[in-house]
A and B are shown apart, each in its own frame.
Chain A
Amino acid sequence: MAEVDPVVAWPFRIGRRDKIATAGSCFAQHIARHLQANGFSFLVTEPAHPILAAETAAAYGYGQYTARYGNIYTARQLQQLIRRAYGRLQPAEDVWECDGAYFDPFRPAIQPGGFPTLEEYQRDRRQHFAAVRRGLETADVFIFTLGLTECWVARSDGAAFPVCPGTVAGRFDPARHAFVNLSVADVVADMTQAIEEMRSVNAALKVILTVSPVPLAATAEDRHVLLATSYSKSVLRVAAEALTKLPDVGYFPAYEIITGAFSRGAYFADDLRNVREAGVEHVMRLFFRHATDLSAAPDTVQPEPEDDFIAEMTAVVDTICEESKLDAS
């Protein structure tokens, strides 16, 4: 089944030196990981500080995507993020306070326990938006994985949250929050607006869309989750097809590679939702074959000199401590 290749025509090629930004639902993280591993220039404009251990950086949402925005499940959330980053949208519900901590309603799980102070929250948001802008303005390619159609919005201004208020943080209030299940027209409109916003600051940006193959775990609709999944994926797939009519927008069929009947479901893990590494490798093998130009050698990554800071300072501190012994004697 690893030979199945549904990619027939692909509109453009990505070079190793092209800067690639990623966003979307969790499947996009796999794409970013494989791009890095294969010597492509995965653009990260909000990297973890080198004093952080790898596990701490991961817990704080660094390195998953180009900036520290966490999973962006819907096209609506993406277009609103872009507008917020450029100050063109100021949601009324902009911070959740729970048990003395502050949470970002638009990335509520971005750090364990939320932000301990409003000061940190506000500083971090300004820094984050600057990183989002740098990513949009300097990327050559933007890869976005469409994940969901179901979302929760603020009734006051339509601000779309990644998860239902009250699940990760915040408090659900039926007077303030509403459930929305986006249609094809909604997704096309949101994504078109997002692409226009991005190209208003980066005219040459190429866009690659994928649809997450991960089925829904639950639905807020009054119907079975199988039907909800079928509806959601169908909407996203049709919307993605419509969006390829825009210039320099390609749809890569990761969804079909993972869910196609030819694999007999073998690409799904035991939980029947997450994608096995073999499936991701199949997608990325075809991605590299069709969507990339592998002629240039990968850049050699030089370790950042700042990585030596802790070792150097440890030696200095030790030395000062030993010197103080001589002074004391």
Chain B
Amino acid sequence: MSPRVVLKRFVRRLFSRGNAPTKPMPQAGSEPNLRIGTREANEPRLVCIGHSHTRTVVAAARRQGVSLAGIDFWSTGAPLVMDEGRPRFRQDIAQQLSGIVFSMVGGTAFNIMALCVHPRRFDFVLPSAPQLPFDPLAELVPFGAVRSALLAMTQDYLNLMGYVRDAARGPVYHVEAPPPFADAVRKLPREFLPYFADKSREISPHYFRYKMWRLHSEIVQDFCARRSIGFIPRPPEAVDSEGFLLPRYYADPMHVNEAYGALVLAQMRRLA
């Protein structure tokens, strides 16, 4: 199946069939969209909108009693409707996008290509860090071609970020996806193995995952610069000297835990 077909499936998930919201927005404080904590009158409203990475920040905010509206696209139902041929957010979601909006849209596309070793093992040279190790067992794929492939897989998420920017009434920041972990011994959890047709699938070398994550961040950062969206890099204290995620922030092969969410929440509050 080509990346384009996969993306078309993703796009179908984004859109409602009709123009009416498919799901009413839940009340504050209830799943799937959360408004938690209490906000002082002089505190700006914080909104965190995106995919699975939003959950760690929401969890951290809940624990600390910080007021934060969380919108997780995995729980909203199709968030977009077509309005005179142009996509826009459902009214109930658009209404939430006031105050300071933090996008955690996407952030996992690079894992589709990078998490496991491709049957035709490949690697690339990252122009911003050409000194990074190259997998000695891999064939070279030109950087520009890899970038095109990853951009195609990321494009729908970038579009979604653009809709966030269009709908938000205040500043918008995008939070960089968490970096990969360095531990090459750490394997995919056993419960994910049934999803692999090839049970011998091995996890990719850590430098390959790191390069793909950096390329993903560069693509997202370029987009943010063009659309006047601020870019919040990963918390510096969460990574080791080479830029890999420290083990204490690991949750699963693609996600970080609440402790990492607390670091991101602190970054958000410093910007508020």
Binding site for B on A (CB under 8 A): 48-53, 56-57, 60, 111-113, 115-120, 123-124, 127, 304-317, 319-325, 327-329
Contacts and interface: CB of A to CB of B under 8 A. Distances in A.
A135 to B, nearest CB: 16
B125 A314 contact: no
B1 interface: yes
Contacts of A111: 142, 144-145
Interface string B107-131: 0100111011011101011010010
22 contacts: A51-B141, A56-B145, A56-B148, A56-B149, A111-B144, A112-B144, A113-B144, A116-B125, A117-B125, A119-B130, A305-B198, A306-B120, A310-B2, A310-B112, A310-B113, A312-B195, A317-B115, A320-B253, A321-B51, A324-B255, A325-B55, A328-B56
Given A51-B118, A56-B145, A112-B144, A313 B139 contact: no
Nearest to A321: B52
Given A53-B148, A123-B125, A309-B118, A327 B112 contact: no
Interface string B11-55: 000000000000000000001000000000000000000011001
A111 B140 CA distance: 14
A222 to B, nearest CB: 40
A313 B112 CA distance: 5
B112 A308 contact: no
Interface in B232-254: 251-254
Contacts of A329: 31
Interface string B143-165: 11110110011000000000000
Contacts of A314: 6, 9, 112
A319 B152 CA distance: 21
Contacts of A308: 1, 197
B72 interface: yes
Given A305-B198, A314-B6, 19 more contacts: A49-B120, A52-B149, A53-B148, A56-B149, A116-B143, A116-B144, A117-B125, A119-B130, A120-B142, A124-B142, A306-B119, A306-B120, A307-B2, A311-B1, A320-B253, A320-B254, A321-B51, A324-B55, A324-B252
B16 to A, nearest CB: 19
A17 to B, nearest CB: 24
A320 B141 contact: no
A323 B189 CA distance: 11
B63 to A, nearest CB: 12
Contacts of A116: 125, 127, 143-144
B64 interface: no
A112 to B, nearest CB: 6
B75 interface: yes
B4 interface: yes
B195 A52 contact: no
Contacts of B252: 320, 323-324, 327
Which of B74, B127, B145, B254 has most A Cβ within 10 Å? B145
B148 to A, nearest CB: 5
B168 interface: no
Contacts of B148: 52-53, 56
Contacts of A60: 142, 144-145
A51 B127 contact: no
A52 B1 contact: no
Given A51-B146, A120-B142, A305-B119, A328 B112 contact: no
B145 A52 contact: yes
Nearest to B255: A324
A281 to B, nearest CB: 29
Contacts of A310: 1-3, 6, 112-113, 153
Nearest to A118: B130
